Amino acid sequence: MPITPALNITQFLVEDATVGEWNLQGLPTDDLSIQNGIMVTNAARYPLLVDPQGQGRTWIMNKEQVNELRVTQLNDKMFRCGAKG
């Protein structure tokens, strides 16, 4: 069975050009941030973003600016389904 002894999972799952674009959009360059970026962009469902420093939020806001991303919070009046008012 062939194996790759020194496989770098981030280089395997994402191209350097994509990582460079993410960096320009505000994603930090450390391995953990890049791995989080891979999960955010490739997840089949909505990924959970634990972001104590706000860097991930900034990155997603910049990345999705062309799609007119709207940010909501749990205490927003219209957050819950079926809320009227």
Domains in the chain (CATH in brackets) are 1-85 (3.40.50.300)
Q: What is the pLDDT along the chain (85 residues), one digit of tens a residue?
A: 888 888 888 888 999 999 999 999 999 988 888 988 998 899 898 887 778 888 888 899 898 889 988 877 778 887 766 545 5
What whole-number distance in Å separates Cα of residue 19 and Cα of residue 6? 20
Q: Buried b / exposed e across 20-31, counting CB within 10 Å, b at 16+? A: eebeebbbbeee
pLDDT at 1: 86
